[in-house]
């Protein structure tokens, strides 16, 4: 397996994805996201999501480098297998990061629902961000503890991310649950998009302050909709492949279990690598629309005032 060219090429692609993510994520976070005119709750959640993605990329990259050192320096076949401590650490950390990403996707969706319902007063909700942040830690911590609390990690595997047979049923259950969460998240985003589309059509009849608040809420929801769409789809594909790797064995190659899980591991790093570029594009697009709205808000009363002056001087 280690000498297989397809296997080596895939590992190289995965490492490249992680490096791209580690370079681009901090640049976009501090160059665009931190400076973006977003509600404090949404900005805090997106910032945390970026940091979890960075931790995830570090976990994947260091694990692959560790495994590569084992494969290149082994003296007997047993030396190629990761140590029990490394296996334990990387497996648990990967699961926690994945669950935290999913938890953040759910909480961001909930935050946008709250922002849509209480759109007229939500701008004053400045002290609720710690509650949203705290909520994101509950689900990943509970799931990771439930899966691994009684696992001894005695089953040898070439990859630290190949799950132990003892956790197979639990991982399958979580995979199904994640797919359901993803579908619910996509449904919620679709509903919010329809609500905001109707609100956009009625903006012209609103006062300037209300129009600005509605526009900011719609812009924030649109931003998160596109970001969540890409991340939720990646999560659904990842979970579906997790189930396929666990249940489907075609018998076409040797070490099929390791190959399947390694292919599955390429989905989330790809989504992490795409995330900063998509965020940068959406934030720049949002800033252009925001500037246009501010310009219109200034020009409209000015033009009305000019018309009034002309009428008075006639």
What is the rounded distance in angstroms from the CA atom of residue 161 to the CA atom of residue 155? 12
What confidence score (pLDDT) does residue 25 get?
94
Q: Are residues 258 and 159 in contact, defined by beta-carbon separation less than 8 angstroms?
A: yes
The residue written with tokens 């640049």 in the block is 27
What confidence score (pLDDT) does residue 301 get?
52
Q: Are residues 50 and 100 in contact, defined by beta-carbon separation less than 8 angstroms?
A: no
What confidence score (pLDDT) does residue 19 get?
94
**DSSP letter string, 234-265:** HHHHHHHHHHHHHH----SSTTHHHHHHHHHT
What confidence score (pLDDT) does residue 52 get?
95
The residue written with tokens 């949002």 in the block is 286
Segment 203-221 shows an average pLDDT of: 68
The CATH homologous superfamily of the domain defined by 5-303: Rhodopsin 7-helix transmembrane proteins (1.20.1070.10)
Q: What share of the chain is helix, strand, coil (3-state, %, to 5)?
A: 85, 0, 15
Segment 224-241 shows an average pLDDT of: 78
pLDDT at 132 over 60: yes
Q: What secondary structure letter does DSSP report for 151? A: -
Q: Are residues 21 and 272 in contact, defined by beta-carbon separation less than 8 angstroms?
A: yes
Segment 214-233 shows an average pLDDT of: 78
Q: What 3-state DSSP class applies to 4?
A: coil
Segment 156-166 shows an average pLDDT of: 74
What is the rounded distance in angstroms from the CA atom of residue 242 to the CA atom of residue 260? 9
In tens, the pLDDT along 5-22 reads 777 778 888 889 999 999
What is the rounded distance in angstroms from the CA atom of residue 157 to the CA atom of residue 87? 9
**pLDDT above 90: percentage of residues in the chain:** 18
- Under the banding of pLDDT at 50, 70 and 90, the label for residue 253 is very low
């Amino acid at each position: 397996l280690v000498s297989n060219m397809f296997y080596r090429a895939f590992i190289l692609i995965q490492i490249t994805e992680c490096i791209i993510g580690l370079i681009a994520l901090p640049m976009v976070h501090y160059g665009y996201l931190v400076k973006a005119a977003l509600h404090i709750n949404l900005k805090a959640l997106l910032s945390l999501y970026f940091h979890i993605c960075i931790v995830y990329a570090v976990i994947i990259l260091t694990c692959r480098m560790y495994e590569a050192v084992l494969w290149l320096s082994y003296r007997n076949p047993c030396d190629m297998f990761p140590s029990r401590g490394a296996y334990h650490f990387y497996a648990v950390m990967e699961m926690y990061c994945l669950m935290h990403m999913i938890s953040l996707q759910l909480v961001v969706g909930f935050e946008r629902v709250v922002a849509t319902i209480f759109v007229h007063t939500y701008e004053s909700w400045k002290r609720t961000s710690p509650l949203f942040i705290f909520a994101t830690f509950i689900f990943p911590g509970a799931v990771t503890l439930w899966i691994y609390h009684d696992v001894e990690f005695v089953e040898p595997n070439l990859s630290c991310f190949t799950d132990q047979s003892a956790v197979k049923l639990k991982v399958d259950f979580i995979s199904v649950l994640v797919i359901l969460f993803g579908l619910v998240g996509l449904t919620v985003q679709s509903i919010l998009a329809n609500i905001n589309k109707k609100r956009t059509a009625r903006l012209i009849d609103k006062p300037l302050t209300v129009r600005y608040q509605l526009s900011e809420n719609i812009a924030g929801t649109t931003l998160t909709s596109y970001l969540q769409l890409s991340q939720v789809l990646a999560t659904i594909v990842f979970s579906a492949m997790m189930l396929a790797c666990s249940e489907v064995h075609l018998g076409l190659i040797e070490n099929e279990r390791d190959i399947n899980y390694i292919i599955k591991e390429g989905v989330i790093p790809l989504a992490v690598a795409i995330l900063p570029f998509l965020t940068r594009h959406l934030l720049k697009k949002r800033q252009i629309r925001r500037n246009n709205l501010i310009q219109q808000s200034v020009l409209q009363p000015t033009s009305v005032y000019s018309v009034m002056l002309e009428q008075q001087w006639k």
